[in-house]
Amino acid sequence: MKIQKVGIVGAGQMGCGIAQVCAQAGHEVYLLDTTQAQLKKAKADLERRLSRLVVKKNITPKEKTAILKRIKTGTKYDGFKACDLAIEAAVENEEIKHGILKKLCAVLPAKSLIASNTSSISITRLGARTDRPEKFVGMHFMNPVPVMELVELIRGIATDEETYAAIRELTLELGKVPVNAEDFPAFIVNRILLPMINEAVYTLYEGVGSVEAIDNAMRLGTRHPMGPLELADFIGLDTCLAVMNVLHEGLADTKYRPCPLLVKYVEAGWLGRKTGRGFYDYSGDKPVPTR
Ligand code: NAD
């Protein structure tokens, strides 16, 4: 099956990035979110990112206009009626994802595929909430989507080969590199990355180092391009906590216990870059460590 029109649920940092790479590859895109305000922000984001590509001469102004024209936005599920594929990229909350899948199944043509960009939730369990578990697959893009090459592809127990092959082909067409991961909590990248970030938060919590010391130590000592706390802010602390909870519950091992300080930051609404404050304060010209 050839995927042409792509619908995306969730116009946050991931949904926007996925919309951009799909439209850049020539696909018609429908991008849905719950409010017009979020869609307005998403459109401004897309405009800004594509303008940067024009300045860098990666695309022409004419191409930018054509790419933006291919992305339609809305708050209604009707837009999915003509989609060959729906990609769910809303918040990392299983209840919310269940609600979205129900709405998608009601409007998507029977032959259309559904993928979830979940960072950690079982693809088998999400697929079971749809009317087409054999056409359901995990398609885990990395952040920022236009820059990162990897897409983890995850089969649920019921996913059929035709679906997997079509998603793999689309991944290649988007210029990305697919890596297969089995359906275990948090798959490959986040199974390894998030416990490291959680440990960095424990290191801060126990006073072993300040935010700056921890990030400098990991940048300079392990050649990571970003420190773990800076990266946590970039990912979103709510997403980090959600992934740790999935690992903790799914693997029933105390080594995955989310750090209480991470929980507190999320409770405070300090979710990182997207809310302007996390382990750093982003209100000024330069991020300032908060501890
Ligand atoms: P985000 O907070 O930037 O965006 C989430 C979007 O979902 C928001 O725009 C919100 O309005 C929308 N939303 C919430 N409830 C909704 C609903 N019922 N219907 C439609 N839209 C709804 O989060 P994000 O970082 O873009 O993450 C989205 C998904 O991608 C999550 O499942 C996350 O685990 C996954 N993911 C995140 C990263 C990352 O680094 N942030 C990387 C890979 C995958």
104: domain CATH number? 3.40.50.720
Alpha carbon nearest to ligand 1 atom 1, residue: 12
Top mutation candidate among 13, 14, 18, 107 for ligand 1, by most atoms within 8 Å of CB: 14
Same domain, 81 and 205: no
Which domain covers residue 168, as residue numbers?
A: 5-181
Q: Is residue 246 part of a domain?
A: yes
Same domain, 29 and 132: yes
Same domain, 58 and 82: yes
CB 39 within 8 A of CB 11: yes
Alpha carbon nearest to ligand 1 atom 9, residue: 12
Q: Is residue 45 part of a domain?
A: yes
Top mutation candidate among 20, 73, 91 for ligand 1, by most atoms within 8 Å of CB: 91
Same domain, 172 and 220: no
Same domain, 196 and 60: no
Q: Can you give the pLDDT at residue 2?
A: 85
For residues 267-274, average pLDDT: 97
Same domain, 116 and 25: yes
Same domain, 106 and 216: no
Q: Given the CA of residue 93, which atom of ligand 1 is nearest to it?
A: 32
26: alpha, beta or left, given left = phi > 0 and alpha = psi -120 to 50? left
Same domain, 165 and 249: no
Q: Given the CA of residue 35, which atom of ligand 1 is nearest to it?
A: 11
254: domain CATH number? 1.10.1040.10
- Residue range 118-143, pLDDT digits in tens: 999 999 999 999 999 999 999 999 99
Look at residues 119, 147, 181 and tell me which one is the last residue of a structural domain. Answer: 181
- Please, which residues have CB within 8 angstroms of residue 7's CB and are 6 or more apart in sequence? 29, 30, 31, 32, 79, 80, 83, 85, 86, 87, 108
Alpha carbon nearest to ligand 1 atom 4, residue: 12
11 lines ligand 1 (CB under 6 A): yes
Same domain, 45 and 162: yes
Same domain, 134 and 241: no
**Catalytic: 119?**
yes
CB 188 within 8 A of CB 179: yes
Q: Is residue 290 part of a domain?
A: no
Say yes or no to pLDDT of 1 above 90: no
Structure tokens at 289: 């460590």
For residues 262-274, average pLDDT: 97
73 lines ligand 1 (CB under 6 A): no
The mean pLDDT of the chain is 97
Query: Interior CA angle at 135 toward 132 and 140, to 5°?
Result: 120
- Residue range 58-76, pLDDT digits in tens: 999 999 999 999 999 999 9
Q: Which of 112, 116, 117, 119 is catalytic?
A: 119
Specify the number of domains making up the chain.
2
- Residue range 210-258, pLDDT digits in tens: 999 999 999 999 999 999 999 999 999 999 999 999 999 999 999 999 9
